[in-house]
Amino acid sequence: MSGPSERSATPAEREQYLARSPYNVVHLTLPDDEQRAARDLADWRAWGVLARDSEPSAWLLSQDYTGPDGVQRTRSGLVASLRAEPYDRGVVLPHERTHSGPKEGRLRLLRATRTQLEPIFLLYEGDAVALPDGEPDLQSGGDRLWRVDETPDFSDVELLIADGHHRYETALAYAAEGGSPYLMVVFVPTRQEGLTIFPTHRVAAHVNGERGTPIDEPDDELPGVVLYRDGRYELLESDALDVEVVDRLAPTGVTYTPRREDAVATVDRGEAEAAFLLRPTRIEDVWAVARRGETMPQKSTYFFPKLTSGLLFHPLD
C-alpha cells in the first residue's frame, strides 16, 4: 500500500500507483474527491484490509536508502502521536512558508476521513535511535517498523518541522473547528549520519537581467549560488543563504529539481532562460532561522528520503 508522501507524485506517477493496487494509499491521499477517499477508507476497514491496534502504540522506524549522491545510508526515528500546538507557543517550530491552496484541500480530506493519513517529519537534537535486534513487525522496501510500548518524553524537547508544514497547519485548523488536535509524527534525531539534506535547484523562465561573475564549470562542491545560462556559469556572491539569495532576486516562472544535471539540461533545451544551482541548506542554518521566528522560501530544504505513506494511519475517532 505504500506510496509517495507529501502529495509529491506527478499525475503520471499517481496513475501508476493507482494501477498497482485497489488498496494503494494514493487512493486516499490523492483521491478523485474527498468523499470517495472516506468511502474507500471505511471499506478497507470493514474488509480487513486495514487492521486497527486494540491499544495505542508507538513504532520505531528505520529507513534504508540510497541518496541522490549514490551513497547508501540508514535513517531512524520514532513514530508517535503528538498534539498540534500553535507556532507561537514554541513547541513546534516551522522553517518554510506555506500556501493556502494545498491546506484547503488537505482540510477537506481530513474532515472527510477523520484520519491522519501521512506522518509529519519532525527533527530534534538527539542521538540516533537504538533499533531492536529482532525481526520488524512491518516492512516495506527499505522501511522497517517495530511496535514499542514505551517512548521517551518529548514534552520539553524543541521540535522542528523538516517536512509537512501544510499538514501540520491543517491539523491546527482542524482542531480550531473542534476536531482532534492530534497528528501522526516521526521524531527524527539530528545526530545521525543518515539524516541528509540535498539542494533543490531553481529553473527560471526569466531572471530579470541578473548577472554574476563568470567562472569555469564548478565541480560537485559549489562555491555559492551559481547562475547557469547560454552554456556559461556565473557566481552570485552573497553572505545570505543560497535559497534567500534567489528569493530576493525574484525570478519568474520558477520550477524546481533536486538534480543539477536536469536543471542544466532544461536550460540547454531552451525551455528556460537560466538555472540557479544551489548548495544544500545546512541543518544548523535551518534551526537558526526557525529559532528567530523566521521562515525560509518554499523548497529551501530537501530532506531525503521523504517518509513513506501507507504503512501506518492515525484515526482521530
**8: pLDDT strictly greater than 80:** no
3 vs 197, more confident: 197
Contact, 278 vs 225, CB < 8 A? yes
**143, three cell numbers:** 522501511
Read off the DSSP letter of residue 89. G
In angstroms, the CA 266 to CA 299 distance is 19
Residue 6 banded pLDDT, cuts 50, 70, 90: very low
Q: For the chain, percent helix, then strand, then coil, each to nearest 5?
A: 25, 30, 45
- Max alpha carbon distance in the chain (Å)? 64
Average pLDDT value for the chain: 92
Question: Which candidate, 20, 104, 15, 41, places its Cα nearest to that of 313?
Answer: 41
Measured CA to CA, the distance from residue 50 to residue 54 in angstroms comes to 13
Asked if residue 277 lies in contact with residue 203, where contact means CB atoms within 8 angstroms, the answer is: no
**What's the pTM value of the predicted model, to 2 decimals?**
0.89
Q: In the structure, what pLDDT confidence band is assigned to residue 33 with cuts at 50, 70 and 90?
A: very high
DSSP state of 192: S
Give the whole-angstrom CA distance, residue 209 versus residue 161. 35
pLDDT of residue 63: 96
Q: Is the pLDDT of residue 72 over 90?
A: yes
- Report whether pLDDT(207) > 50: yes
Cis amide bond preceding 305, omega within 30: yes
Strands (E), the chain: 58-66, 72-83, 92-93, 115-116, 120-127, 138-140, 143-148, 159-163, 182-191, 196-198, 201-204, 213-215, 225-229, 232-236, 255-257, 274-277, 302-304, 314-315
Over residues 287-296, mean pLDDT:
91
Residue 170 has a pLDDT of 95
DSSP string, 231-278: TEEEEE--SS-HHHHHHHH--BS-EEES-HHHHHHHHHTTSSSEEEE-
CA distance to 165, 197, 275, per residue, from 254 (Å): 21, 21, 9
Mean pLDDT within 68-84: 94
Residue 280 burial (C-beta neighbours within 10 Å; 0-12, 13-18, 19+): middle
- pLDDT, tens digit, for every residue of 141-191? 999 999 998 888 888 899 999 999 999 999 999 999 999 999 999 999 999
What confidence score (pLDDT) does residue 4 get? 54
Q: Which helix (H) or strand (E) holds 286?
A: helix 283-291
The model's confidence at residue 2, banded by pLDDT at 50, 70 and 90, is low
Whether residue 9 has pLDDT greater than 80 = no
- From the list 17, 30, 2, 22, the residue with the least C-alpha distance to 109 is 30
Q: For the segment 46-67, what is each residue's pLDDT rounded down to a tens digit?
A: 999 999 988 888 999 999 999 8
Q: What percent of the chain has pLDDT over 90?
A: 79
The kind and range of the H/E element at 178 are: none
Render pLDDT for 231-285 as a digit per residue (tens, 0 to 9): 999 999 999 999 999 999 999 999 999 999 999 999 999 999 999 999 999 999 9
Strand 302-304 and strand 196-198: the pairing is: antiparallel
